[in-house]
A and B are shown apart, each in its own frame.
Chain A
Amino acid sequence: MSFLHLAILLPFMAAILIPLFYKQLKHIHTGWFVLVVPVILFVYFFQKIGPVSKGLNDYSTANWIPSLGIQFTVYADGLSLLFALLISGIGALVVLYSIYYLSKEKEELHKFYVYLLLFMGAMLGVVLSDNLVVLYTFWELTSLSSFLLIGYWHTREKSRYGAVKSMLITVFGGLSMLGGIILLYLITGTFSVREMVIQAAVIMEHPLFLAALILFLLGAFTKSAQFPFYIWLPDAMEAPTPVSAYLHSATMVKAGIYLTARFTPVFGLAPEWFWLVGGIGILTLAWGSFNAIKQTDLKAILAFSTVSQLGLIMSLLGAGAAALHFESLDDNLFTVAAVAAIFHLINHATFKGSLFMAAGIIDHETGTRDIRRLGGLMNFMPITFTIALIGAFSMAGIPPFNGFLSKEMFFTGMVNLLEFDLFNADTWGILFPVLAWVGSVFTFIYSMIIVFKPFTGKLQAEKLEKKPHEAPLGMLISPVILASLVILFGIFPNILAASIIEPAAASIYPFLLEDGEKFHVHISHWHGFSPELYMTIGVIVLGAILYATQSKWKRLFKLFPEKLTLNRLYDQSLHGLESGSEKIQKFYMTGFLRNYLGIIFIFTAALTGWALFAQSAFSFKAESNAPIGTYEVVLAVLMTAGVVTILFAKSRLTSIIALGSVGYGVALFFVLFRAPDLALTQLVIETITTALFLLCFYYLPELQKREKLAFKVNNLLISLGVGTVVTLIALSANSQRVSKTISEYFIENSYKEAGGKNMVNVILVDFRGFDTLFEITVLGIAALGIFAMVKLRMSRKEQS
C-alpha cells in the first residue's frame, strides 16, 4: 500500500461516512464535507506533477489475488496523472457547483454524494491501475455509479430510460473489454499493462490479436460514446446538471479515450487500429456535430457536442498511432496528433464543464433549457453570458481561447496524415482532413447557437416559469474558474506543455524516446500561413454564413426520416429481443405436461439413438443368450396382451385390471427366473398398487367422460421411437459384455462373510445395506407426505 492506493480508496471511504454526516448535521449542506475529498486529491496529484515530469513515475503494488496474477498495482505516469488531475480538479469544482445547485431541503443529498464519490474513486482507479483486472473492476464501477447518477431522479420515467440505456450499452462494452483483457492475458501471460507494452511485438504476431483489439475497442468506444454507441449519451442528460458536467463531459466519457491512449503502444502498429480508431473517431466528429445543430434542448446540444469532441480526440489518437512506425522523434510528423489529442482533452474538459454549468444555471434560473423559449438573457445574466461565450468560442475554435490552439493542432495532425503512406492512407487518408473540416464547420454553428440563442434576441418572459435573474455567487465560482482556465491555457498554453502534455505524450510513445530524452512540445499561436490557418478561416467564414442563414437550410434535417435513427434501432431491437424471447418461451413453455414429456422423450430417444449410431455401437450377438423356453413365450404373449389391453381399453377399470395382470405376469417371470424374494415382493406390492388405483378411480368426479383415448400420430411416433431406441440399446449392451459380473463374489462370500444363505437378503441388508437404509427412508417420506397431504389440507376458505 502506498499513498497512491490511499488516494484511490479515499473517495470510497468518504462514501461510507457521508450518509452519517447527512443524518447528523442536517443544517449544513452535505456537499461541504464532500468537497474536502477532491480538494485533498487534487493537491496530492498536483504536487506529483514535478516528479512525474522529470520521469519519476510512481509505482506501487498490493496483493489482491496473487494466485491468479491479480495485483492491485497502481502506476502514475504522465497520462494517468493528467486524468487524475482532471478527475479531482473538475470533481472539486462540480461538488462546489452542486452545493448551490441542489437544494438541501428537497433532494436526497446523501445518495447523490455517495454515488458521486463512488464514481470519483472508480474513475481514479481506472486511470491509475496497471493491472487490467483491477482496471476492469473500476471500469464497471464507473458504469454502475453513472447508472445510479443518471437515474438519480428515479421517479421520472425518462431518467430511468436513460439510465437503463447507458447501463446496457456501457456494460455491453465493458464485458467485451473483459473478453479483450482475457485474450490479452492468454497472449502475454500477464495482466499488467506495462508488461504488455513491452510484449507489443508478440501480441501483433499472435492469431488472437485481432479479436483482442476489436473487443478492446468495443469497450473504449461504448464508454466514450463513439459512433454508433453514442446514443446513450444524449439520454443521459436526464441526470442532474452537475453530473452531466462531470461524468458526461469531463471524466467518464474520457475513460475510453484514456484506454485508447494507454493501449496505443500495444496495438498502435496495426492498420486495424489506425483505421478503426481514426476512422470511427472522425466519423463520430462529423456525425455528432451535424446532429447537434438540430437539437433544441441546451443539454442535448452539449451532449451531441461532447460526442463530436470525443470523436475528435479519438481520431487524433488514431492518427497519432501513425507515429509508432518511426524509430525516433526526429522528423516525426505524426506525434503532433497525439499531443493535440492530449491538449484538446484538457481544453474540452475545461470549456465543456463550464458550458454545462452555464446551461445548468440557465435551467435553474429560468426553469427551462429549451432554446426556443429562451432569449435575451444577456442583460439579466451577464456573468453566465460571459462564461458561455468563452466556452462556446473556445469550442468553436476561435482565438484567443484554448480551443483555437487545439483545433489548429487537430488540423495539423489531420493534414499531416496526407503524408502517411501506409495502410492505403495515401488514397483514403484525404477523408480525414475533409471530414475534420466539415465537422468543424458544424461545431462552429452549434457553438454559436449555444451562445446567441439563449442570450440575445427578445426575452419571452411569458414562456418562462420564473423571472430570470443572475445566479447566486456560489454557483458561479466553478464555471468562472473553468472559463478563466480556458483563457489562461489559451494565452499561455506552454504552462501545460512541459508539466503535463510532455509526460503524457511520453507514455503514449514509450519507444520513441531515447534514454534520458524528453518529449518536446511547444505550442505556438502563429504557424505562419499554413493550410490549417486557411482551414480555420474557412471554418469561421462558412460557419458564420451558415449560422446567419440557418432558418433557410434547417429544413434539411427534416429530410432525414425519423425511422432510420440509431435510437429507433436501439428501441426496436430491445423490443424485438423482448418479444422474440417471449415468443420462444411461449413456444416451448406451453404449460401442458404432455408437451414437456414429448420434448423430454424426443430428446432422450434422439440423443441416445444418435449416439448409438454415430459411434456405430449397435451390435447383436445371440450365441451367448440362454435358450427360450415355452413358459417364457406363453408369459410374454400374456403380458403383451395385457399391455395392448391397457392401450386400447375403453374404460379406466379395464386398464387398471390389465395393469394388475401385467404386474402379476412380472411376478410370474420372477418365479420363472428364480427370484423368489422379488416374486414375493412384486405380488404384494402389485396388489397394494392395484388397490390404490381402484381407490383413485372410485373417487374420480362423476362427470368425467369415459372416452377412448384420443389417437395421435405424433404420440405414437414418439413412443415407438423411445421403445425402439431403448430396445436397441438393451440388445447392444447385452451382446457387448466385456467383463464378468461381480455376482461371483457374492455367491462365494455371502455365507463366509455375512453368515447368511439368502444371497439377495444378504446383499440388501449387509453388502449394500446403505441403499436399503435410504430406500426405507424414501418409504417413510412417502408415508409422511401422504399423511401431510391428507390431514393438513387447508380448506378453500382458509386458503383465500
Chain B
Amino acid sequence: MKRTNLKTNDLILQTTVNIVFFIIFIFSIYIFFAGHYTPGGGFVGGLLTSSAIVLLLLAYDVKTVAAIVPFNFLKVAAAGLLIALATGAGGIFYGEPFLKHAHGPVHFPLFGEIELASATAFDLGVYLTVVGVTMTIIQTIGETE
C-alpha cells in the first residue's frame, strides 16, 4: 500500500491503534451479541471487527498484521457460510423446516440459567462471513502491485 520510499515513524499512530484496536474489537463483539435485543447484529459486528483489523493494517504493514491475525480470511468466510448453513440445517433433524430456529433458557454449570437462541449461531455465521469477505477484499487489493 505504501508508495513512499521515505521511512516514517508512526509511533503515535501505532501506540494509539494498540489501544483503540481492543476498544473497537470489544465494541464489535458487544454489538454482535446485543443484536438480538438492541441495534446491531452479525453484519455490523463483522464490519466493525474488520475495521479494527484495517486500523492495524494502516498502522503496521501487511506482513505484521498477518502475523498478529494469522487467519486465511477466505477460509473464515467459508467457515461463516458453513456455520450459517449448518444452523439452518439443524432444524431438519428435529422434523422442522429449514432455518427454523429454537430459543429458550439453557442451564450452564457456572452461569446458571441463560436465555439462548440458535439464531445467534446463525448470526455468528453472518459475522464470520462478513469479516472474511471484507478482509479478503482489502488484503487482496492491498497486496497487489
Contact = CB atoms under 8 A, between A and B. Distances in A.
B104 to A, nearest CB: 7
A683 to B, nearest CB: 9
Given A681-B44, A769-B101, A757 B133 contact: no
Interface string B76-107: 01101100110010000000001101011000
Given A783-B137, A791-B140, A677 B132 contact: no
B interface majority secondary structure: helix
Given A684-B48, A773-B85, A783-B133, A755 B141 contact: no
Nearest to B84: A773
Interface string A772-789: 110011011011101100
A677 B44 CA distance: 8
Contacts of A687: 51
Interface string B2-31: 000000000000000000000000000001
Interface in A755-800: 755-758, 760-762, 764-766, 769-770, 772-773, 776-777, 779-780, 782-784, 786-787, 790-791
Given A755-B103, A757-B38, A695 B141 contact: yes
Contact of A783 (B47, B77, B119, B125): B77
Contacts of B144: 790
A378 B74 CA distance: 90
B122 A779 contact: no
A222 B36 CA distance: 75
A49 B78 CA distance: 78
A280 to B, nearest CB: 67
Most buried by A among B35, B104, B125: B35
Interface residues of B, number: 45
Interface in B30-63: 31, 35-44, 47-48, 51
- Interface footprint category on A: 35 or more
A769 B104 contact: no
B51 A757 contact: no
A345 to B, nearest CB: 71
B134 A688 contact: yes
A677 B119 contact: no
Contact of A754 (B40, B101, B125, B133): B101
A797 to B, nearest CB: 17
Given A680-B40, A776-B81, A758 B137 contact: no
A773 B99 contact: yes
A189 interface: no
Given A681-B43, A776-B84, A761 B48 contact: no
A693 to B, nearest CB: 12
Contacts of B122: 765-766, 769, 772
Nearest to A779: B133
Contact of B37 (A756, A764, A783): A756
Contact of A772 (B47, B48, B103, B126): B126
B41 A677 contact: yes
B84 to A, nearest CB: 6
B91 to A, nearest CB: 10
Contacts of B104: 755
Contacts of B43: 681, 764
Contacts of A685: 47
B40 A780 contact: no
Nearest to A756: B36
A681 B44 CA distance: 6
B99 A769 contact: yes
A531 interface: no
B119 A754 contact: yes
A790 B81 contact: no
Contacts of A779: 77, 129-130, 133
A676 interface: yes
Interface string A710-736: 000000000000000000000000000
A793 to B, nearest CB: 9
B117 interface: yes
A625 B81 CA distance: 42
Contacts of B103: 754-756
Nearest to A675: B39
B39 to A, nearest CB: 4
B117 A776 contact: no
Nearest to B98: A770
Contacts of A776: 80-81, 84, 125-126, 129-130, 133
Nearest to A679: B39
A765 B119 contact: yes
B40 A777 contact: no
A698 B33 CA distance: 38
Nearest to A780: B77
Nearest to A793: B144
B133 A782 contact: yes
Contact of B41 (A692, A695, A765, A791): A765
A757 B37 contact: yes
A755 B123 contact: no
B126 A684 contact: no
A674 to B, nearest CB: 10
A688 B40 CA distance: 18
Contacts of B41: 677, 758, 760-761, 764-765
A758 B36 contact: yes
Contacts of B39: 676-677, 680, 758, 760
Interface string B107-145: 000000001010100110110011011101100110010
Contact of B88 (A680, A769, A782): A769
B99 A777 contact: no
B122 to A, nearest CB: 5
Interface of A: 676-677, 680-681, 684-685, 687-688, 692, 695, 754-758, 760-762, 764-766, 769-770, 772-773, 776-777, 779-780, 782-784, 786-787, 790-791
Given A773-B85, A780-B77, A783-B136, 17 more contacts: A676-B39, A681-B43, A687-B51, A688-B47, A692-B141, A754-B119, A755-B115, A756-B36, A757-B36, A758-B36, A761-B35, A761-B40, A765-B122, A770-B98, A772-B84, A776-B84, A783-B132
Listed from nearest, the 10 A-B pairs whose CB atoms lie closest are: A755-B103, A676-B39, A756-B36, A783-B133, A776-B129, A783-B136, A684-B47, A761-B41, A757-B37, A779-B133
11 contacts: A680-B39, A681-B47, A687-B51, A754-B117, A755-B103, A756-B119, A757-B37, A757-B38, A758-B38, A780-B80, A784-B74
